[in-house]
Structure 1
Amino acid sequence: MDDSFPDLGSLPDEELKAMIDRLTQEETEVSYRRRILHGQIDILRAELVSRLRRRHEDGEAVIATADVDRLTEILAGRAGNLRIDDDGEGGQGA
């Protein structure tokens, strides 16, 4: 527990119950937000798959050279110093 967490042995039952209620509510909110994020991720992935499928049907290349290069780095274990920039592009880590 962090430094700001109270000495639990010194708290009265009512304060412990209130603390439990507050943390339970916070966990419920975090869990809800997590489910929303997972839903958004699923929608985005489905859109990406749809676009890739459409490109494939149109005869376009589905996998770019950059994708193959990135996968090669990952499989070679050299991806540890790569990061995602603010613009969503990969780059070398500092």
Structure 2
Amino acid sequence: MEDTFPDLGSLSDEELKAMIDRLTTEETEVSYRRRILHGQIDILRAELVSRLRRKHEDGEAVIGGSDVDRLTEILAGRAAGLRPAEQVEDGEGSATS
């Protein structure tokens, strides 16, 4: 915490208030950006669902090999950047390979 945060005891009340204001503003901006991204993701997903429904109605294959591969990755925990099950820490706290 020393690298990213100053010694709070050495700051004046005004410096603390300024830091609070700056971080509050930054958090508000990040939250706004996150809401925008979530909205864009929702719109894209809705479009994809609409296209898949049309394909299904037209008798086309809705699920392909790449979809199955992606699902396999998700179920294996690799989609979120998690390590494969073989590399999860064992009971002694060391990673196995």
72 and 21 in structure 1: CA distance in 2 versus 1, 3 angstrom threshold: closer
Aligned residues: 80
Deviations 1:36-94 (A, max 9, x none): 0000000000000000000000000000022123324544x3x639x8xxxxxxxxxxx
- Which residue of structure 2 aligns with residue 61 of structure 1? 61
Unaligned runs of 5+ residues in structure 1 are 84-94
Write the distance in 1 (CA, Å) between the matches of 2:73 and 2:33: 33
Q: Measure, in 1, the Cα distance between the counterparts of 2:73 and 2:11.
A: 53
Tell me the equivalent position of 1:80. 78
**Shift in alpha-carbon separation, 1:36–1:58, aligned structure 2, 3 A:** same
Instruction: Name the CA shift for 1:29/1:2 in 2 (closer, same or farther; >3 Å).
Output: farther
Corresponding position of 1:7:
7
Query: Identity, % of aligned pairs?
Result: 84
TM-score, with normalisation over the residues of structure 2?
Answer: 0.72
TM-score normalised per structure 1 = 0.74
Structure 1 partner of 2:32: 32
| Structure 1 partner of 2:47 | 47
